[in-house]
Amino acid sequence: MKIAIVAPLVTAIRQPQQGGSQAFVAELGRGLVDRGHDVHLYAAAGSEVGGVRVIDTGVDPRALADTLYRAAGAAPRGATAGAAPGGVAAGAARGGAAAAVAAFSNVYGAVRRTRYDVVHNHAFDAPAIRLATELRAPVVHTLHLPPEAEVADAVRSAAGREHSPAVACVSAFHAGVWGRIVPVDAVLPPYVRTSAIPFSPAAGEGAVFAGRLSPEKGAAEAIEIASAASVRIDVFGDGYYPEYVRTRIDPLRAAPGVFIHPSLPQSALWDAIARAAVVLCPSTWDEPFGMVAAEAQACGTPVVGFRRGALAEVIVDRVTGFLVAPDDIAAAADAVRMAPALARADCRRHAERRLDLELSLDAHERLYERLARAWRTGEPRNGRTGRRGTPVGG
């Protein structure tokens, strides 16, 4: 099949990746190429994905800085008094929206110049969804993040059109949340390429946290948990919220046993995780998936996290890690102490059998084939409308 993948444009798709969706888009593109598909990856300027044809859209990701997703309750970069709904300063919100419309207009203009069997958008931006309705090809939107008002409105509006797009989520939990807003066609989890991830059968030392330094990912909580368990912690991540880093992370830099590093390319991060005794995922939001937890288990490293969102779909409690009540630092510290007793081989086996990229590629191909067939024939697709808007039952 000839497939167009539209990446998030707010960052370049290159190592070290700036988020889980960016990392998965690169793996998805490579995996589909390996299966014989002709893939064009439309991405921001500066993107590089080995083995995949990257179409440089000319979009400077810095121009979209004000559109970076911010979890509820966290102040965005550059926010000032007089913020608009959602916490973004009114001027920044208007400027970011205009920049996003211009960026995705440019992208879809380029997409329209080639005939594709499927266009798969991964950008969590309302313009990316609204403007895709003009494409003359079946469209998939993978929603990597929790519902946000403007994006939800765009998805609802697109779903009501004759050429309705397919909507995909990244976990069963995530599909349940979005399913209250719009019908969900598929769950397409961002599984990991376990064959590329080093497995360490030997028990490691210390704890690792990896992810953006933002309130919802729980970097500060990870440091608290490690300190309560009296173990060293290495934190890998870049400042996503400068104010959060300044107030919650910087004061902990001098604490005993706390080592804070910039984000690493995947291969280097996997080596660090494989050397650890435990990986901490104390998310303070309902995690849509939890890619770091999947990568950790592929390394053989148990995971300790709060029981929130989709982490229960990724971690086998008391087998490949421990899930404790949200915000329970003491229980998480106890789990950190118990984690080295878990069998690292069980972690790896679970990743290979349940969290491997090949399973996700299978799901992507099934959805693509169904959509392409419905587009060609006008037949209905799984409870939605086909190309001709034919009502679908069951």
Amino acid at 94: R
The percentage of the chain sitting over the pLDDT mark of 90, rounded to a whole number, equals: 80
**Mean pLDDT along residues 258-285:** 96
CA dist., res. 223 & res. 251, Å (int): 11
Convert the pLDDT of each residue in 163-193 to its tens digit.
Answer: 799 999 999 999 999 999 999 999 999 999 9
In this predicted structure, the answer to whether residue 394 has a pLDDT above a threshold of 50 is no
Q: For residue 102, which phi and psi values (nearest 5 degrees)?
A: -65, -40
Nearest to 315 by CA among 346, 336, 340: 346
Contact 28, 248 (CB under 8 A): no
In CATH, the architecture of 194-354 is 3-Layer(aba) Sandwich (3.40)
What confidence tier does 380 reach under pLDDT thresholds 50, 70, 90? low
CA dist., res. 265 & res. 248, Å (int): 25
- Specify the domain boundaries for CATH 3.40.50.2000 within the chain: 2-191+358-377, 194-354
Contact 320, 344 (CB under 8 A): no
CA dist., res. 12 & res. 31, Å (int): 19
Average pLDDT taken over every residue of the chain:
89
Convert the pLDDT of each residue in 336-362 to its tens digit.
Answer: 999 999 999 999 999 999 999 999 999
In this predicted structure, the answer to whether residue 80 has a pLDDT above a threshold of 50 is no
CA dist., res. 235 & res. 317, Å (int): 23
Give the per-residue pLDDT at 48: 94
Give the per-residue pLDDT at 61: 86
Buried b (16+ CB within 10 A) or exposed e, 343-376: ebeebbbbbbebbbbeebbeebbebbebbbebbe
In this predicted structure, the answer to whether residue 86 has a pLDDT above a threshold of 50 is no
Convert the pLDDT of each residue in 197-226 to its tens digit.
Answer: 999 999 899 999 999 999 999 999 999 999
The length of the chain is 394
Contact 293, 315 (CB under 8 A): yes
Sheet strands side by side (includes 118-121): 53-56, 38-43, 2-6, 118-121, 139-143, 166-169, 186-187
In this predicted structure, the answer to whether residue 83 has a pLDDT above a threshold of 80 is no
What confidence tier does 377 reach under pLDDT thresholds 50, 70, 90? confident
Q: Among all chains, which residue has been given the structure tokens 């790896």?
A: 348
**Mean pLDDT along residues 263-292:** 96
Contact 295, 315 (CB under 8 A): no
Q: For residue 382, which phi and psi values (nearest 5 degrees)?
A: 45, 60
Contact 295, 316 (CB under 8 A): no
Tokens found for residue 184:
């969900």
In this predicted structure, the answer to whether residue 129 has a pLDDT above a threshold of 90 is yes
Give the per-residue pLDDT at 393: 27
Convert the pLDDT of each residue in 58-69 to its tens digit.
Answer: 999 888 888 878
Report the Cα–Cα distance between both ends of the chain, in Å, rounded. 27
**Mean pLDDT along residues 231-241:** 92
**Mean pLDDT along residues 107-126:** 97
Amino acid at 144: H
**Mean pLDDT along residues 121-131:** 96
Convert the pLDDT of each residue in 24-60 to its tens digit.
Answer: 999 999 999 999 999 999 999 999 999 999 999 999 9
**Mean pLDDT along residues 264-289:** 96
**Mean pLDDT along residues 317-337:** 98
Contact 264, 272 (CB under 8 A): yes
CATH number of this structure's domain 2-191+358-377: 3.40.50.2000
CA–CA distances in Å: residue 12 to residues 49, 110, 267: 10, 18, 18
Contact 260, 253 (CB under 8 A): yes
What confidence tier does 379 reach under pLDDT thresholds 50, 70, 90? confident
**Mean pLDDT along residues 359-369:** 98
Give the per-residue pLDDT at 382: 55
